[in-house]
Each structure stands twice: as C-alpha cells, then as structure tokens.
Chain A
Amino acid sequence: MGENGRYQNRIELLQGTLDMMILRTLQWGAQHGHGIGQAIRASSEDVLQIERGSLYPALHRLERQGWIESEWKITENKQRAKYYRLTRAGRKQLASEQSRWNRIVEAVTRVMRPA
C-alpha cells in the first residue's frame, strides 16, 4: 500500500517533465525502455533515476497520444526488444515542450536569483 502511494506521487511530480525527457532522448534514434531509462540517468549524471513504474506508463501514454511509435526488433545480444521512435507529431511536440521548458527555467531562475 505504501509503495503504491509513492509511485503515484512520483508520476504526478514528473508527469510533463518525464514525457519531455523521453521525447528528447528518442531524438537521437530508436531505443528500448531500459535504454531510455539508462540514457536519462546517464545524461543527468545519475541524478535522475526513473522508476519503471513511471517509465513504462509514460511510454505507453506517449504512444497512445501518437508522439512515439514502437516496433519489436532484435538487439545485438540476439534478444527481442521493443524499440520506441519519435513520430512527426512527437518531434513537433518536443519542439514546443523545449521552448516552454526554456521559458519556465528562465522565469524560475529569475525568481530564484540571489538577492
């Protein structure tokens, strides 16, 4: 029960941001779920560790919204994996998310500037 509650908090906290980071990660090419998680972790220098309970729901949500699409492929280790790829709508969404994010960061930075 406790665990359940924690997940829901995380999802709410990261909702828009996680989606944006996933789209951003996929900009470099198709990737499977585990790879996306690792990529976010690596590029945030281990600060952000995405829980599976947030990652997979987000992936499935984004796919439903038509921003990413998926395909089963065979990895280098000869394993079947589900790869996600940005769609055209996803690219557009990423661009608008990016500029929105920039504005928010600027604004928040101005507010938090040391007095």
Chain B
Amino acid sequence: MRWIRKLRELLRPRILRRQEDERDLEDELRFDLQEEAHLRMERGESPESARTSSRRDFGNHMLVKEATRDMWGWTWLERGIQDCTFAWRTLKKSPAFTLVAIASLAIGIGANAAIFSLVDAILLQSLPVRDPDQLRLVLWTGRPPIPRNNGSGYTTMLHGIEVNSSFSYPMYKLLAASVPEFSHLMGFAHATQTVIAGGESHYAEAYFVTGNFFDGLGVNPFLGRMLSPDDDRASATPAAVISYLYWERRFGLDAGVIGRNINVNGRSVVIAGVTPRSFGGLEAGRPCELFLPMTHIETFGPKWYSLAKDDHWWVQMLGRLKTGVSETQARAALEVVLARAGAGYEEKPEHKRSPFRPVLEAGAGGVPLVREQATMPLLILGSVVGLVLLIACANIANLMLARGTARRREIAIRLSIGAGRGRLIRQLLTESFVLAGVGSAVGLIFASPLAKAILAMAAGDEALNFETPMNARVLLFTAGVAILTTLLFGLAPALRATRVDLTPALKDGSAGAGGAGRQLGLTRLLVMGQVALSTLLLVSATLFVRTLVNLATMDPGFKPARLLIFSVDGSRSGYQGAKLVDLYERIREKIGAIPGVQAVTLSDVALIGNSMSNSDITVPGHTSKAGKPDTAYHMAVGSGFLTTMGIPLVLGRDLNDRERPNGAYVGVINEKFARDYFDGRNPIGRIFYFGQPGPKTAAETVEVVGVSKDAKYDNLKHMIPPTVYLAYQQHPDGLRQVTFEIRTALAMASLAAPIRRAVAGIDRNVPVADMRTQEEQIRLTLSLERAFAALVGSFGLIAALLAAIGLYGVMAFAVTRRTAEIGIRMALGAERRDVQRMVLRDSLFMVVMGIAVGVPAALALTRLVRDALYGVAPDDPLSFIAAGMLMLAVAALAGWIPARRASQVDPMHALRHE
C-alpha cells in the first residue's frame, strides 16, 4: 500500500495550507468589493447604493470562489472529501433511512464478499510455487491397450471428454526420461499412513513423490531440506518431509524434529525437513502432511502401488513446461511416447475407436477435485447472494427516490441560487457512495466469519482446510461491487431528483407536482422487481429445504439410532491377511464385553459413508443385457451385521462367526439383487460368481444363504443397488481398514473411552479414528444439502423482508402524498373500509405483478439446480405455491400498515392542511 502513504503525505500539509489559501481568497475578494464600492463612492454614488451595486456587478461570489479554486489543482479529491463529509452530515439527519440502507447494503455486500472469498480461495488461488502457470497436469483419455488391473486416482470430465489421472510407474519412468519438453515431470500418489511419534499413533495424509518433486515445483524448505533425487533411490535411508501445519500440530513447532526418527506404517523414517507454511501438497483444501520418496512406496503400501507392474496404475503426474515450449508441443511429444508404449499389446477394435491419448490440464491450481465439487455450489450461492444484493439496491434506490422527492425544495433552492446540476448530481451520488462505502465496511467485518461458517457447514466430515483471508483480490472485488451498487441505486434517483421544475417546487414543497406520476412509476417498477426476485429466491429456498427434509426423514433401510461407529486400520500397523482378521476379531470380542454394549459388528465400508465397492458378477441362469455386464455392490461384514444394523432378514440367515475362512464363500443378498438376478425365485442355496462369464474357480463362487430387505449403501441420494453382504473373514486378502458398528442403550459418549482403552489394550499402535454416531455420519453426508437449505433459506427470507420494506416505504409515501385526496374522498362519503381497500389493492397489484414475473423466471432457473435437489422436481407446484403464498403474506402485511393509516386520515385535518 505504498501509494496510500504517498497520497497521505501529499494530502496532509496541503489540507492545512488549503485552509490558509481559502482565507486568503476570501480576503482578496472582499478587498476587491471594498475597492469597487470605494471607487463608486468617489464617482458620487451614495455609500448604500455603491455597496449594493458593486456587489451586484461582482457576480456570484461563491461561483467566483469555486472557479478560482479550480485553478489550484487537486480539487477533485478535496471536493470529494468535502462532499463525503457533507453527505455524511446529510445522512445523519435521517438516521432511520441511513440505518436501513447501510444494513441492507452490509448484508448484500458482506454476503457477496464472503462467497467471493470462497471462490477466490477454492477456484482462483494458485499453488504457492514458482511460476505456477508453467505447470500442467498430465492426464489421459481413451482406451489404453495396456491392461489396468489395479489402481488409484480419479476420473473426471474435462471439456466434455472423460479423463483419467493415473499411470503405471514404468510408464512414468518412460515419460520422464523421454519427454524433454518438460523441464520436470513430477510423479505423486496419495496414501494414508499410520504414524507413531512421541509414543502416540495417528493417521497422516501422505504423498509419495518422485525425487524431482520439490525442485520442480520450486518449493524451498522452511526448515532442514526437501527431498531430492538422492532420496528417491531404493538404497537410500527412507527420509520424510513434513508440512508446516503437521509440524505445528504434532510436533509443536519444535526445530529439533529435523533428523529425528518417526515410525511410518511400521518402518522407521528420518525427518529431513519442513515445508513452508503455505505449502501443503497439490490439492487445495486437502492438506498433505507427509512427503515420502516414491521408490520406497512398496515397503509402505498399499500393495497395489507397485513399482514394477505395468498393469498397476497409480502414479499421477505434474509437468513443468520448459520456457518457450508450447502445450501443443508437449502434448505431441507425450503422444508419441504413449503410442510406443502401447505398441507391444494386443489391439482391439475399441482401442481404435477411442485411442489412448494424453491430455494436459492447467496445473496452476493443483489437483482439481475440490474445485470440481465446489464449482456448482459456489455458482448457486453466488447467484443467490447476487440477487440479494440486487434487491437491496432496488430497495435503496426506492428510498433515495422518496428522499429525492422529499428534498425537492432543498434541491430547487440550491439550483436557483446557482448550484450546477452536475455538482448536485455529484453530491447526491456521493451520498450513495458514502452509503455503499460504509455498507461495504460493515459487510467486510462479517464476510470472513460468514465464509468460514459456510465452508464448515458445507464441507461436512471432510474438514476442508482453506484460509479465506480478506486479501487484495477480495477487497478489490468488494470495492468494485460497492461502486457498481452506488451507480445501481444512486444514479437514477440523482438524475431524477435534480430534474426539478423550479417554480412549482419552490411554491409548494409537498403537493404533487408534474414529476410525481413518473416517479411513482419507477418506484413501482422497482418494487415489482424486488418482489419478483424475492419470489425466485423463496422458490429456490423451498426446493432446497424440501430436499433436506426428504433426505433427513428418509428411512435408509437400517436403524441408525443408537449406533456408534469408528474405524481402524490394522494393515498400516503391520497386520495382514489372517492376522488382520484375528486382530479385528479380538477387538470385536473385547468391545462386546464392555458393559452396556448390546451388539458389535464390523464392515469394510461404512454405511452412508460416500464410498463403495462394486464388481461385475455372473449369475447362472440369468442373461445380462447386451453389452452391460451384471454388477453388484458388495460389503465385507462381520458376524451379525444385518441384525446389529437393523436390516430385516426376509429369508435364510444372517452371517455369523462360524463362516470358515477357506470354506465355500457365503453371502446375504438384498431383495433388489434377488429381484434383478434371480427373477423372483427362491435364491437360498443358489450361487453366483464374481467376474464376467468364463471359466470360474471355487474362489470366485458365492453361495446365497440369506435375503435381506433393501437398505441404502453409500449415499442416501442414490438408488439402492443390488447388494451382497459377504463374510469378511472369508476374504482376508484385500482386507484393510474396517468400520466397527456398536449398538448400545447407553449414552454414546460414555462408550468412547472404554472403546479406545479396549483397542489400545490389544495393540496401542493401532489408532482409533472417526468415532461418531451413525446418525452423525448420515448428517455429515447431508452437509451440502443442509448448507443450501440454511443459506438459501435465510437469504430468501432476507430478500422477502427487504422487498416488504420497499413496498412499505412506497405505500407509506404514497399515502402521505395522497392525504388530501383521501380526505376529500372521505369527506364525500367514502368509508374507512373503502379507503383501506383502495390502498391495499394498490400494493397487492404490485405484489401480484411481481410474483407473476418471478414465477416464470423461477421455472426457467430452478431447472439449473436439478442436480442439487432430491425427491422434489425443480418445477414442483407445491413449492411454487408455498413460496408465492409466503411472499403474498409478507407483502400483504407490509401493505396493510399504510392502508390502515390511510383509513385513519381525519378528513377535516387533511383538508385544512391542504
């Protein structure tokens, strides 16, 4: 902010000097007048007449001063300050108006600044690295001829094509060695690790990175050193870099941490350095805590992160373009190498139809997953707060118009004594600007807490870590919004107010003059616009609230009440296969022995946890639809899972702890599975296979031992898929993290400590994570819906309130203006009821017109949020009617008060006043 300091230096002495100049000018002109009068007296005029005539011939004293002052320079600024102080004085004279205006602006501008600060933090912020614009994410599209049997990464749509993020490690090595268009081609992969440091175990989010990762990004150490290619060798001692936030949380910013050993997934790792505070990996909002060299990944796991196998795809890539190399050149070079890599494999027709090609995406913002999820919600919230601001502007414009009319006399006087119209318009606009400025300042105060609250509310269990400071970009945006709103609500009233027909305005300050009709037309239009926009917001609010209610009151097919859940991953503490099953069984027994626990079971996937496993299946006797293999969701569960979760059994039996590890695999299917694949026949004792049709081994066969009612699986919004519950002890190979589910009649909180003790008593290196009630788990998955309902709901109500204030203002003003007319009507025999009806009809007309415009607009626009709704159509008539009725009720109340006042006009009093 160097220029502000400069400006202040320029300004301060100047203002002091200016007061002196001002006095000098006054003296100079006064001397001129005296001298002139003196001269005239010498010519024989009387002193009296000399003084008057010289003053008359002098011209407009103020204008002479102003024109002279103009020659001093810098006056626009000084005049601006003058105007601002004058405007503030004027505004202070009508505190009610000022308060309403500032409050509505503060809400409108504050909400916009809050949403924009989220947009800035989530969508616009670049990674805190050197030249982020040179970075490109390397992705691919099409059908690779190279098999992909295992992997990790993400799939997304980019410019209408489906792209995938991960490559095999051999392919990464090949590309890194043969594409010189990138100065650095960096590889990375995400995995959660169990860390034991200071005698306590916890989970840490880790990136396995290639040796050129930190050098390529241009991230310098805050402490110690970053990882280098020397660390990324199989022979090197495993070293780790930790993030600043992790260092702060787990190591209390202790500088002695460098060189210390910590235990990661059972292996000793030495801490080499700490990243700068701003850097927490490549995914904005999901900070990474630990960076480990990629060549050591096989010793840490998970096991499908293989360095040698070319069918295990898990390495994501970020390249830095060499200076002067275009994206097209880099893509072409990648394409040549990829084509060569695929040449050794059998090519099927589908590989020809959609060839395997590289795709480059701007990497300045890092991995775009959070960004993609957040774009739509931010767009919706941004439009909502934009509309609220628009309504606030219309409201203030209306109040300003009314003020302009009330100030007709003042303005007429100022015009008639020689004030320029431009000067007056500027003065009125300055008032608007002062309002917008103060409104923005107040709005900014609550913008940051609001942004934080929205983030916390919408992110749910994913504790998104964004800092939303009011940075320069946000302040600039707010200033822009303030100026825009000033023009929006200030310009028309200022132009209107200064277009005064002087004579009638001076003759009578109150009675309706020529301009009044036109002016009421504009205010009416503004009120209708406000009602229309509010209706639109109320309709959206109703739809979002109904979505939330639909989801929150839905029967998920199991009984979430009185269930406590937590997750454990013994695979990161050295347990595998049968040993891991044994660990989980011991935990299950020990928890089952805690007094007050009614039942305990476990599953590899938490219900309503937004994650799932599914596979292709083959059901003998059932033919799948052409081109689409049969699929089923599956969940590996412990003994008594269905009973514990409260999913009713229809046929057969629940899984129990006597399912033998190497016996025939058994499963319980849901009714949907039975309906879809067993065509209504009794499925008990029948079998199906995992995988597509073909020769099968016994290891792929599952025998159906029970049928359960349908229950929601990963997400309340999704349809219930064909699901099979498998006995987890029969599938120890893929077993990793599990969720324990405990049914109890006790207070949930009282179980937390005994459970932690029980797990620690078995192995204190196995941390307990995500302990919460099943109901809390479901609530977390509804956080976005809850945020929408709360935010759009409150903004909708605020909008309706603003519209009501606007309507009230206009009607109250109209009634005051028509006092005389009403008096005459009543004197001529109109009943109070008639008067009341007349005024009410007037306001209802505006409201109905507004709703009539708002409803079609809502019909057109709510379609756009279809994906954010559940169980309610975007054109749901009930929601539209409810929103319309609410708007009507609020507006009727706002219109009723002035109507009542009109009916209480005393005809005698009104006429005498006239």
Contacts and interface: CB of A to CB of B under 8 A. Distances in A.
Nearest to B24: A82
Contact of A80 (B27, B67, B418): B27
A32 interface: yes
Interface in A1-60: 1, 3-4, 7, 11, 32-35, 37-38, 51-54, 56-57, 59-60
Contacts of A61: 71
A93 to B, nearest CB: 17
Given A80-B31, A81-B31, A57 B60 contact: no
Given A11-B67, A79-B31, A80-B27, 8 more contacts: A3-B60, A3-B418, A4-B63, A4-B418, A7-B63, A33-B31, A33-B32, A82-B28
25 contacts: A1-B415, A1-B418, A3-B59, A3-B63, A4-B418, A32-B28, A32-B32, A33-B28, A33-B32, A34-B35, A37-B32, A38-B39, A51-B59, A52-B29, A52-B58, A53-B60, A53-B64, A56-B64, A56-B67, A57-B67, A60-B71, A60-B72, A64-B71, A77-B38, A79-B31
A60 to B, nearest CB: 4
B660 interface: no
Contacts of B63: 3-4, 7, 53
B28 A56 contact: yes
A10 B71 CA distance: 16
Counting chain B CB atoms within 10 Å of each CB, the highest count among A51, A52, A59, A72 belongs to A52
The secondary-structure label for the interface of chain A is helix
Contact of A34 (B24, B36, B59): B36
A33 to B, nearest CB: 6
Interface string B39-55: 10000000000000000
Contacts of A35: 35
A14 to B, nearest CB: 13
Interface in A66-90: 72, 77, 79-82
B70 interface: yes
A80 B29 CA distance: 11
Interface in B1-44: 24-25, 27-29, 31-32, 34-36, 38-39
A33 B31 CA distance: 9
Nearest to A5: B420
Contacts of B553: none
Given A1-B415, A82-B28, A53 B72 contact: no
B31 A4 contact: no
Interface of A: 1, 3-4, 7, 11, 32-35, 37-38, 51-54, 56-57, 59-61, 64, 72, 77, 79-82
* Interface band, chain B: 20 to 34
Contacts of A60: 68, 71-72
Nearest to A64: B71
B423 to A, nearest CB: 9
Contacts of B64: 52-53, 56
Q: What 4 pairs between A and B have smallest CB-CB spacing?
A: A60-B71, A34-B35, A56-B68, A61-B71
B29 A56 contact: yes
A1 B59 contact: no
Nearest to B418: A3
B28 A52 contact: no
B198 interface: no
Contacts of B79: none
B32 A34 contact: yes
B357 to A, nearest CB: 69
Contacts of A3: 59-60, 63, 418
A59 B68 CA distance: 8
B508 to A, nearest CB: 21
A60 B856 CA distance: 63
B59 A52 contact: yes
Contact of A64 (B28, B58, B67, B73): B73
Interface in B424-442: none
A52 B56 CA distance: 12
Nearest to A37: B32
Contacts of A11: 67
A4 B419 CA distance: 8
Contacts of B31: 32-34, 79-82
Contacts of B58: 52
B78 to A, nearest CB: 15
Nearest to B502: A1
A27 to B, nearest CB: 21
Contacts of B696: none
B421 interface: yes
Given A52-B32, A52-B58, A7 B67 contact: yes
Contact of B34 (A52, A59, A79): A79
Counting chain B CB atoms within 10 Å of each CB, the highest count among A7, A57, A79 belongs to A57
A82 B59 contact: no
B173 to A, nearest CB: 73
Given A52-B32, A60-B68, A4 B59 contact: no
A68 to B, nearest CB: 12
A99 B28 CA distance: 32
Contacts of A33: 28, 31-32
A81 B67 CA distance: 20
A4 B420 contact: yes
Interface in B201-247: none
A57 B420 contact: no
Interface in B588-612: none
A52 B65 CA distance: 9
Contacts of B27: 80, 82
Nearest to B67: A57
Contacts of A4: 63, 418, 420
B862 to A, nearest CB: 51
B76 to A, nearest CB: 16
Contacts of B420: 1, 4
A38 B73 CA distance: 28
A1 B421 contact: yes
Contacts of A51: 59
A83 to B, nearest CB: 10
A57 B38 contact: no
Nearest to A52: B64
A44 B420 CA distance: 33
A51 to B, nearest CB: 6
Nearest to A63: B71
Contacts of A79: 31, 34
Contacts of A32: 28, 31-32, 35
Contacts of B68: 56-57, 59-60
A60 B68 CA distance: 7
Nearest to B58: A52
A57 B70 contact: yes
Contacts of B28: 32-33, 56, 81-82
Nearest to A51: B59
Nearest to B424: A1
A114 B494 CA distance: 55
Interface in B390-437: 415, 418-421
B632 to A, nearest CB: 84
B200 to A, nearest CB: 75
A64 B415 contact: no
Contacts of A77: 38
B72 A64 contact: yes
Contacts of A57: 67-68, 70-71
Nearest to B73: A64
B100 to A, nearest CB: 33
Contacts of B39: 38
Contacts of B419: 1
A84 to B, nearest CB: 10
